[in-house]
Chains A and B, each alone.
Chain A
Amino acid sequence: DAKTTQPPSMDCAEGRAANLPCNHSTISGNEYVYWYRQIHSQGPQYIIHGLKNNETNEMASLIITEDRKSSTLILPHATLRDTAVYYCIVRVATSGGSYIPTFGRGTSLIVHP
């Protein structure tokens, strides 16, 4: 059972910023928020993760609200190659006791010319 809620789809014009929201209202204090994306017929690609502070890397920025109940992934200048399904995940325990990301349905982002 996914612990996050994302809009099923979004679209964005090429060159503009893409802001992808995610709600994780039941997140625990020690759970990280991870973002991955999956381009069609490929394995998921790690984008960024954070705990409570905002994070930025060469791919994106992650803004986490102060109460940690939601976050936003920002692609500052979207390109056509950013068209993918974006997954926001918090780690949940498996039956073996290991904490791993569990994927929900994600947001299908379409970047158009």
Chain B
Amino acid sequence: GAVVSQHPSRVICKSGTSVKIECRSLDFQATTMFWYRQFPKKSLMLMATSNEGSKATYEQGVEKDKFLINHASLTLSTLTVTSAHPEDSSFYICSARAGGSQETQYFGPGTRLLVL
């Protein structure tokens, strides 16, 4: 299957700092990328959908000024957690899809964020 990478795999930061997470589709062009977060022993929760070259669409309850998403190219999307707080500590997972809604989504390995 297609490969999606994330960097970093884990990050620890101080409260108030910003953290950027990268998501790359390695062997295909991703017209759409998705960002999820997952708390311990919980399921994945969709945060936002981004299409290359356009603004991300955020799910209800997700602060777009807090979680900045940039999908600058067909192989790269970034999620920046701004002014991180301990409650932002979570497992962040991206996924990418090559074409339309009938196409399969492939997921990255996830980034574990710990805010102290």
| Residues of chain A whose beta carbon lies under 8 Å from any beta carbon of chain B | 32, 34, 36, 41-46, 49, 87, 91, 94-96, 98-106
Contacts and interface: CB of A to CB of B under 8 A. Distances in A.
With a 10 A CB-CB cut-off, give which of B58, B93, B105 has the most chain A CB atoms: B105
A87 B32 CA distance: 21
B115 interface: no
B105 A101 contact: yes
Given A98-B49, A100-B49, A102-B46, A42 B109 contact: yes
A28 B68 CA distance: 34
Interface string B15-36: 0000000000000000010101
Interface of B: 1, 4, 6, 32, 34, 36, 43-46, 49, 57-60, 91, 93, 95, 97, 101-102, 104-110, 112
Contacts of B105: 46, 100-101
A112 to B, nearest CB: 20
B104 to A, nearest CB: 6
Nearest to B4: A43
Contacts of A44: 44, 93, 95, 107
What 10 pairs across the A-B complex have the smallest Cβ distances? A96-B57, A43-B107, A99-B101, A103-B44, A103-B43, A44-B107, A43-B110, A43-B109, A43-B93, A43-B108
Given A100-B46, A105-B43, A95 B59 contact: yes
B107 A94 contact: no
A104 B6 CA distance: 23
15 contacts: A36-B107, A43-B95, A43-B108, A44-B44, A44-B93, A87-B43, A95-B60, A98-B49, A98-B101, A99-B101, A100-B101, A103-B36, A103-B43, A104-B43, A105-B43
